[in-house]
Chains A and B, each alone.
Chain A
Amino acid sequence: MSDDRTVAGIKTALAAQVQEAAARYPANRSAIMPALELAQTKFGSVDGTTYQAIAELLDVPEIWVFEVASFYTLFNRAEPGRYHLRLCTNISCMLRGAEEMLLELQRHLAVQDGGTTADGLFSLSGVECLGACDKAPVLMVNEDYIEDITPAKLEALLAALKREAQEPSAEEGAA
């Protein structure tokens, strides 16, 4: 992850890729979503500085960038934990115990739905349908789907992630 989160730093880091994205559309505004995604991949979250940098790169009003960033739930406007746990609680997962599992996760991590643990390791969100209803309940850990979750599987998963976080060599790979 890059550290220079000034407007100039973000612009330098993203310029080439944002330009490449903009070339796919007849209007620069269309590249706002791809640009936000690129910024998030690079920096972990998006904020006011990011919006300004993207607005300048695409020559669009900054409010357009903020409108998009604040509408779509996959854009992190706060720094998420190292592992973002997104547990689907929609109907098919709910029917197989997801709501109880969300409560269990809240208890286990001592964090509210939507919150991040004090050590910055885990963010927890109950989310809408992830489109893997045949493997319910389903959980996303960052970009990966973990399917057919059971309480035992969950416990093992959390323990494994905590272990992974303690290994110094894993530090770089997580980004």
Chain B
Amino acid sequence: MSDLVLLRSIQNPEAPEVAVYETTGGYEGLRIVLRGYAPDQVVEAVKSSSLRGRGGAGFPTGLKWSFVPKDSGKPHYLCCNADEGEPGTFKDRILMERDPHQLIEGIIIAAYAIGANTAYLYIRGEYGLSIRRCEQAIAEAYAKGYLGKDILGSGFDLDIHIHKGAGAYICGEETALLESIEGKRGQPKLKPPFPAVAGLYECPTVVNNVETLACLPHLFRRGVEWFTSMGPKDGPGPKLFCFSGHVKKPGVYEAPMGLPLGEMLEVYGGGALSGRFKAAIPGGVSAPMFPENGFDVKMDFSSLAEAGSMLGSAGVIGLDESASIPRVARRITEFFSHESCGKCTPCREGLTWAAKILRRIEVGEGSPGDVEQLEMLCGSIFGKSFCALGDGAAWSLGAALKHFRHEFEALIPAQAQPVQEMRLW
């Protein structure tokens, strides 16, 4: 337990209070930064730490920051993405509820690095306790001089505002999140331009995930060397994993990256409810699943990418022998279909069709050719929309079809006739 970094205060009900946070080294990282680092040096330090984003894409954080122009003449913005909505993921909620100052300190460090005097913390509307805890923490931080004008005598000013989401998964996509803060529908925009150049209000903007920002106070308090000593070289640091589904011990765990998926499911997840796993999803439902014979894959950014999946949001969902993969695929596809913002045709139409076909297969009304039709749809959706929502949907459905094709086919009545016409609407 003493090795925990991000979750070191998780058992302490008083941890959300600033005075308690300070006794565990809180705001020391910020002091170190403001005393000894120019903004550029903060960016360089984060680059050399190889910190990668914890929101899903795993993009190198320092590199993202370095794209912010220095001479735009416009205000810069930092946005914290706390619109956690990837099914199977609940780590950011725990961080905000149990240790909000860790996040606030991280936001201040990041804002300083990119020259932002305003930061928006975008929290999904359902997370009432997270919102209250962060509001409280922000108020305490102002009172203590960690926010506002001339922070700790450094000359750096920062205001943090909370922007509440209102129930749209797509707003976790960074350009949709920015649209939402601007007061619009959360519809992603084509990149480039990237937010670092033209983001919020067309100004240079960085969007970082809660857990990513929560790493920063520790990185600067304990040093880059300490940080890079934890886990894989190309993406080190403390990491949270969420276990849910058919596991005996669901919950959020801080664990080193690079352990095999199967071992993590046993050690942290406590094993399968029914005694044996059939498959597992490693990083939220956008991440393609692994059948049990693929459980030796290592749980880090590159190993999962090489194996055709991703660490994503590190939401590990165990599926034991009782799970019907066609049903799981149907529910996941319905989710993506429901959350598609409707802007791009392949995602909007393709996912509606895919969900419809999956529903009829599940109730035994499928037809020969349905599985091929689904595969065709996956190919028509993947890579053909502005954002990654459709990609994740097609990618995860494709993996279910690939590894468990027999389960889909077994549900299609043998005597059924191939569909003569498109019965899609």
Contact = CB atoms under 8 A, between A and B. Distances in A.
Contacts of A33: 163-164, 166, 180, 183
A110 interface: no
B339 A128 contact: yes
Interface in B303-319: 315, 317, 319
A72 B168 contact: yes
Contacts of A94: 327-328, 331
Contact of B126 (A24, A36, A136, A140): A140
Contacts of A17: none
B126 A133 contact: no
A92 interface: yes
Contacts of A29: 182-184
Interface stretch (B39-47, B241-249, B386-394, B404-412): B241-249
A134 interface: yes
B59 interface: no
B167 A73 contact: yes
Contacts of A67: 184-185
Given A67-B184, A134-B242, A129 B331 contact: no
B85 interface: yes
A75 interface: yes
Nearest to A24: B161
A159 to B, nearest CB: 25
A31 B120 CA distance: 13
Contact of B186 (A71, A75, A92): A71
Nearest to B246: A95
B166 A37 contact: yes
Contacts of B244: 92, 133-134, 136
A134 B243 contact: yes
Contacts of A24: 161
Contacts of A144: 128
Contacts of A30: 163, 181-183
Given A24-B161, A91-B285, A129 B167 contact: no
Interface in A11-57: 24-34, 36-37
A68 B181 CA distance: 11
B250 A133 contact: yes
B127 interface: yes
B381 interface: no
Nearest to B161: A24
B125 interface: yes
A91 B333 CA distance: 10
Interface size class of B (residues with CB under 8 A): 35 or more
A26 B339 CA distance: 29
Nearest to A129: B87
Contact of B85 (A27, A72, A91, A131): A131
Contacts of B181: 25, 30
A143 B168 CA distance: 17
A153 B118 CA distance: 45
A123 interface: no
Contacts of A36: 166
A95 B183 contact: no
Contacts of A131: 84-85, 89-90, 92-93, 124, 126-127
A113 B331 CA distance: 16
A154 interface: no
Contact of B251 (A89, A96, A134, A143): A134
Given A91-B88, A92-B317, A71 B245 contact: no
A74 B125 CA distance: 8
Interface string B74-88: 010000000011111
B90 A134 contact: yes
B285 A72 contact: no
B247 to A, nearest CB: 9
Q: Among B87, B164, B317, which residue has the most Cβ atoms of chain A within 10 A? A: B87
A140 B335 CA distance: 18
Interface of A: 24-34, 36-37, 60, 64, 67-68, 71-75, 89-92, 94-96, 99, 127-136, 140, 143-144
Given A33-B166, A72-B165, A72-B168, 14 more contacts: A27-B201, A33-B164, A64-B183, A64-B184, A71-B185, A73-B166, A75-B166, A75-B167, A89-B331, A92-B244, A95-B245, A128-B339, A134-B250, A134-B251
23 contacts: A28-B183, A31-B183, A33-B183, A68-B184, A72-B167, A72-B168, A74-B125, A90-B87, A91-B281, A91-B328, A95-B317, A95-B319, A95-B323, A128-B87, A129-B87, A131-B90, A131-B93, A133-B90, A133-B245, A133-B317, A134-B242, A136-B245, A140-B126
